[in-house]
Structure 1
Amino acid sequence: MTGHDDGRAAARGTRRVAIASFAGTTIEFYDFFIYGTAAALVFPTVFFPVLGAVAGTAAALGSIAVAFIARPLGSVVFGHLGDRLGRKRTLVYTLLLMGLSTVAIGVLPGAATIGVAAPIILLVLRFLQGVAVGGEWGGAAVLAVEYAPAGRRGRGGMYPQLGPGTAFGLSSATFLLVELLAPGTFLEWGWRIPFLLSALLVGVGLYVRLRIEETPVFRELLAERGSGVRDAAPLRAAFRRDTRLILLAGGTVAAAFALNYMGTVYLTTYATTVLGIPRPTVLALGVVGGIALVAATAAGAAGSDRYGRRRVVLAGNVVTLVSGVIAYPIIDTGNVALVGLGLCLLMIGGGIVLGPAAAYLAELFATGHRYTGAGLSYNLATIIGGGLPPVLAAGLVAAFGSGAISVMLAVYGLLSIACGLALPETNERSLRTPATSGAPTSP
């Protein structure tokens, strides 16, 4: 009877962690994505009016990249705390930082009120968003994977990975509802509503996260504190032992980010300004794209338990290569249905790779620096694949036409395939056995 009770308690704990991981990443990425949507739709006018329409749009989209620069800092700071103090406590800090930064953007006066201070403060708050989300992902992924039973770590790691797709659909839906306000109201103050709603979401997230326990794997590590198993300096340990793994792991998921951010951030601007599609229609397509990303992420995560992380990630990167080449030619037709199809292709390609990513990256690193190593890899990929393409795209299109986007995304696909071929398979590894840097395993 006691064994049954223990099993039920373990199952409840696993479900609670899955919900906490999903809720936390959804909230964090909701905050992250509403900035991208607002940057495309209103920030050029509200915060960068003196630059004019073209330069103001470029500055607003460029401000998105500030967060990608900050994300590795977040993975270092919170990764150190998570590997030293615990996953749960650190995730509470990241959630609070993201929530406070996002609400502050929602109440920040525009340039018409406080002048040049407005864009400066906006950039600082965006930087803090980046620090928060940089620390969030590694912890949420490691928390979910370390709680998951052997043979189901792909599914366990799926829950934090469902957050970005859900958040993209939720942010698009929120802005779409705000569009129902009277004409002019959206630009005047309506865009602030999604940012202020973050306060409610953070309250829910904190309630869920405070009710979970530290992972069994990390508790074992704390019990062995005197044996030298726990890394005194997780960042130094990660780079000393696993620099190659960090670089390869980041490279193998970079294409997924390139496709996703070219669909979530750049397409919002491209579809409204270049293709002339009404803003509400573009936001509605964003909801559809979010659903496609969630479905692809779930399929990739579940498939990795059956077929192996490496095999699914490589297959996903082949899909990203093909999707990256054909998506924007389809989008360029300007037909709303085909624009939606192109967006879904971008989301599906990235989702297949990102589904197993939590389990794959967590399994690559030892417990003592797992939070740090996984977070650094993931956030390296966000800089290479998430931050650069939307910024580069406008210049490439102006110089060479939209076909340049296909070439750029193809290069990303080839990079990720090459990196994935150099990585080992991990789904049979024990999380309680320290991973070794170049440990070869059969594909």
Structure 2
Amino acid sequence: MSDGTSLSPPAGFTATGKPKKAAVAAWIGSALEYYDFFIYGTAAALVFGQVFFPSDNPAAGTLLALSTFGVGYVSRPLGAIILGHVGDRFGRKKVLVFTLLLMGVATFLVGCLPSYETAGVTAPILLVTLRLLQGLSAGGEQASANSMSLEHAPDHRRAYYTSFTLSGTQAGQLIATAVFLPVAALPEEALLSWGWRVPFWASVVMVFVGYMIRRKVEETPVFEAKARTGDVAKLPFAVLMRDHWADVLRVVCAALIASVSTIFTVYGLTYAVNTVGLERTPMLWVGVTANILALFTIPMWGNIADRIGRKKVFLTGSLGSAALIFVYLWAISIGNWALIFGAGIVMFGLVYAAANAVWPSFYGEMFTARVRLSGMAIGTQIGFAISGFLPTIAVALAGDDPDGWLKVAAFTALLCLVNVVAVATARETYKVPTERLGLKGTAASPSQPPVGVAD
């Protein structure tokens, strides 16, 4: 079946986009949005168990707090469907602005919530509600930023420019972790009463900056051309499920690579601090250092993917992460700081960064422009939703067993291998012209410009 897109460029189509401006907007917006999302994960690992749940059972409180982290992933698929429809029907820019504002409001309000001691069961209910709103926003954020960057980019630099969305995500994670360094060093009473709230309140300033930048970015030439000719799907979800359901399923399986991130960011931290008894501050510095490296390696891997293809780079990241997760968790279990830093930095800052750099272009190139945002959003968010509950599953898997980390590492590696199968069996798309992406049986362009040509 065809989704109505012709093999030739749509009437009025121009390849002249503004890739640098779109990439900057995607980077900054993603950094600010995922700052909000990741400070929640850090707070859930460190303090939410004591703030929002009964204090008579600390282990149960930690498990419940990590469960609220996973709840944010439940609403992501719903956000993907709703915001995917808006983005494919009315434009990528509208989703970019809306997701930033929704995340900002929800995050600020988390910092204002009463504790369990003050409000009882109302406190965790309000926390879960706001977490659901965060997930709703995140469900459309990356897909809209990726679509914007991909459709503004020249054919031969799509992986490079779309990689800035994930580089921004890593920057958000870096800022979130860095903000918690002085907060985590506060005395216990100050940390639990007001200290943890400061990073949530600070997000207001950051979201304002992101809004001012994103409101000025232009809609993509690809979408504008389709809007002018009326070639916009009225029901993108229906078109997606009719013509691209197999690619959506492939993206779901490939997106399980995000399990590496949630284990590294959330489970690794809570396992080190609450189970092994390591200090909070050095563990937070592991994340900071790894993310600093990722800021540079993600665009590097994107550039390489434009030269040799998406699949080779993606598989390098997937297989490498499956192996290194064992080393990282083992290092935590024996409390060897040199090995913890070394394994964490190499795994997350270098190897996992290869997968992060490639998936924005690789997933987006599976779909036509009519359903691109919906396809990426729905596929990734279902996969991310599964990965989001992995910290909770990991705590349950490990139990009280001193060697429980081995089960967690094996389960994470298994999910990486699911990704490997999905990626290895996919079409290679790095030489396919942008206007032909997602069309079945489309061959690569024989006259692809060489990488490095001035944009």
Band the TM-score falls in, shorter-chain normalisation: over 0.9
Q: Higher mean Cα deviation, 292-301 or 362-371?
A: 292-301
SS for the counterpart of 1:327 is: helix
User: Which whole-Å CA distance do the structure 1 matches of 2:280 and 2:50 have between them?
Assistant: 15
Q: Higher mean Cα deviation, 32-41 or 345-354?
A: 345-354
User: Which whole-Å CA distance do the structure 1 matches of 2:351 and 2:256 have between them?
Assistant: 12
CA, structure 1 residues 260+134, in 2 after alignment: closer, same or farther (shift >3 Å)?
same
User: Which whole-Å CA distance do the structure 2 matches of 1:216 and 1:433 have between them?
Assistant: 15
- 2:315 is matched with 314
Any unmatched runs of 5+ in structure 1?
A: 1-9
Query: 2:226 matched to 1:221?
Result: yes
- 1:3 is matched with none
Which of 162, 165, 187 is 2:167 aligned to? 162
Q: Matched residues, percent identical? A: 33
- 2:438 is matched with 435
1:383 is aligned with what amino acid? A
- 2:142 is matched with 137
Query: 2:427 matched to 1:424?
Result: yes
Query: 2:259 matched to 1:254?
Result: no
User: Which whole-Å CA distance do the structure 2 matches of 1:51 and 1:90 have between them?
Assistant: 43
Which of 118, 132, 141 is 1:127 aligned to? 132
- 1:87 is matched with 92
CA, structure 1 residues 395+16, in 2 after alignment: closer, same or farther (shift >3 Å)?
same
Deviation by residue 1:268-291 (Cα, 9 ceiling, x = unmatched): 111111221111222222211222
Deviation by residue 1:369-400 (Cα, 9 ceiling, x = unmatched): 1000011122122123x213211111211256
Deviation by residue 1:136-166 (Cα, 9 ceiling, x = unmatched): 1100011011111110001110111112211
- 2:453 is matched with none
Deviation by residue 1:65-110 (Cα, 9 ceiling, x = unmatched): 1111111111111110001111111111111100000000011111
Question: Deviation of residue 336 (structure 1)?
Answer: 1.6
- 2:23 is matched with 18
Q: Higher mean Cα deviation, 19-28 or 392-401?
A: 392-401
Question: Deviation of residue 49 (structure 1)?
Answer: 2.0
Question: Deviation of residue 405 (structure 1)?
Answer: 1.8
User: Which whole-Å CA distance do the structure 1 matches of 2:68 and 2:328 have between them?
Assistant: 25
Q: Taking structure 1 as the reference length, what is the TM-score of the superposition?
A: 0.92
2:192 is aligned with what amino acid? L
Whether the aligned pair in 2 keeps the contact of 1:309 and 1:356 (CA below 8 Å) is yes
SS for the counterpart of 2:435 is: coil
Question: Deviation of residue 221 (structure 1)?
Answer: 0.8
Question: Deviation of residue 341 (structure 1)?
Answer: 2.1
Question: Deviation of residue 57 (structure 1)?
Answer: 0.5
User: Which whole-Å CA distance do the structure 2 matches of 1:173 and 1:223 have between them?
Assistant: 45
Instruction: List aligned pairs for 1:145-184, cutoff 5 A.
Output: 145-184=150-189
- 1:5 is matched with none
CA, structure 1 residues 435+223, in 2 after alignment: closer, same or farther (shift >3 Å)?
same
Q: Higher mean Cα deviation, 245-254 or 357-366?
A: 245-254
CA, structure 1 residues 409+277, in 2 after alignment: closer, same or farther (shift >3 Å)?
same
Question: Deviation of residue 408 (structure 1)?
Answer: 0.8
The total of aligned residue pairs comes to 427
Query: 2:344 matched to 1:343?
Result: yes
User: Which whole-Å CA distance do the structure 2 matches of 1:51 and 1:236 have between them?
Assistant: 50
Question: Deviation of residue 211 (structure 1)?
Answer: 1.0
- 1:263 is matched with 264
1:86 is aligned with what amino acid? G
1:239 is aligned with what amino acid? M
User: Which whole-Å CA distance do the structure 2 matches of 1:345 and 1:251 have between them?
Assistant: 24
CA, structure 1 residues 90+45, in 2 after alignment: closer, same or farther (shift >3 Å)?
same
Q: Taking structure 2 as the reference length, what is the TM-score of the superposition?
A: 0.90
SS for the counterpart of 1:107 is: coil
SS for the counterpart of 1:108 is: coil
Question: Deviation of residue 183 (structure 1)?
Answer: 5.0
Which of 73, 81, 92 is 1:76 aligned to? 81
Question: Deviation of residue 314 (structure 1)?
Answer: 1.9
User: Which whole-Å CA distance do the structure 2 matches of 1:221 and 1:105 have between them?
Assistant: 40
Question: Deviation of residue 205 (structure 1)?
Answer: 0.3
User: Which whole-Å CA distance do the structure 2 matches of 1:389 and 1:104 have between them?
Assistant: 26
- 2:396 is matched with 395
Question: Deviation of residue 232 (structure 1)?
Answer: 1.1
User: Which whole-Å CA distance do the structure 2 matches of 1:232 and 1:69 have between them?
Assistant: 26
Question: Deviation of residue 201 (structure 1)?
Answer: 0.5
Question: Deviation of residue 434 (structure 1)?
Answer: 5.4
Deviation by residue 1:227-260 (Cα, 9 ceiling, x = unmatched): xx321111111111111111112212312x1111
SS for the counterpart of 2:239 is: helix
Any unmatched runs of 5+ in structure 2?
A: 1-15, 446-455
Whether the aligned pair in 2 keeps the contact of 1:248 and 1:422 (CA below 8 Å) is no
Question: Deviation of residue 352 (structure 1)?
Answer: 0.9
Q: Higher mean Cα deviation, 323-332 or 22-31?
A: 323-332
Query: 2:116 matched to 1:111?
Result: yes
- 1:378 is matched with 380
CA, structure 1 residues 408+205, in 2 after alignment: closer, same or farther (shift >3 Å)?
same
SS for the counterpart of 1:402 is: helix
User: Which whole-Å CA distance do the structure 2 matches of 1:159 and 1:369 have between them?
Assistant: 22
- 2:65 is matched with 60
SS for the counterpart of 2:78 is: helix
1:313 is aligned with what amino acid? F
1:167 is aligned with what amino acid? G
Question: Deviation of residue 112 (structure 1)?
Answer: 1.5
Question: Deviation of residue 298 (structure 1)?
Answer: 2.4
User: Which whole-Å CA distance do the structure 2 matches of 1:329 and 1:69 have between them?
Assistant: 30
User: Which whole-Å CA distance do the structure 2 matches of 1:368 and 1:42 have between them?
Assistant: 44
Question: Deviation of residue 41 (structure 1)?
Answer: 0.8
SS for the counterpart of 1:326 is: helix
- 2:415 is matched with 412
Instruction: Supply the RMSD in Å over aligned alpha carbons.
Output: 1.9
Whether the aligned pair in 2 keeps the contact of 1:138 and 1:371 (CA below 8 Å) is yes
SS for the counterpart of 2:154 is: coil
CA, structure 1 residues 389+439, in 2 after alignment: closer, same or farther (shift >3 Å)?
farther
Whether the aligned pair in 2 keeps the contact of 1:245 and 1:437 (CA below 8 Å) is no
- 2:9 is matched with none
User: Which whole-Å CA distance do the structure 1 matches of 2:116 and 2:396 have between them?
Assistant: 26
